[in-house]
Amino acid sequence: MNKRLITVGLLAALVAMPMASWAEGGADTFKAKCVMCHGADGKGKMAGTKDLGSAEVQKQSDADLTAVITKGKAPKMPAFDGKLTADQIKAVVAYIRTLKK
């Protein structure tokens, strides 16, 4: 087998593993802090909340999603700055990526 192909495959696996573990941690935080508005499936439980699996949300960068979680977004999304750590917010963003349709 081509050594280059094996190297690329191993690198891809190494990159994917941390994202999976971040998403697992993010699921717990999501359940504790986000489900009441976004629903267990992330589709939006309350009127005006975003479907987190939608193309509109998924096209946003990780930095954009982090900013919304950190700073909030009027009129309904509360700021989680000081309520969640930077690592918890990063994990929630990773979890939101798993909701992609």
Q: What is the pLDDT of residue 10?
A: 46
Q: What is the pLDDT of residue 101?
A: 73
Cis preceding linkage at 18, omega within 30:
no
Write the pLDDT tens digit of every residue in 71-84.
Answer: 999 888 999 999 99
Write the pLDDT tens digit of every residue in 30-76.
Answer: 999 999 999 999 999 888 899 999 999 999 999 999 999 999 998 88
79 phi-psi bin (left φ>0, alpha ψ -120 to 50, beta other): beta
pLDDT band at 11 (very low <50, low <70, confident <90, very high): very low
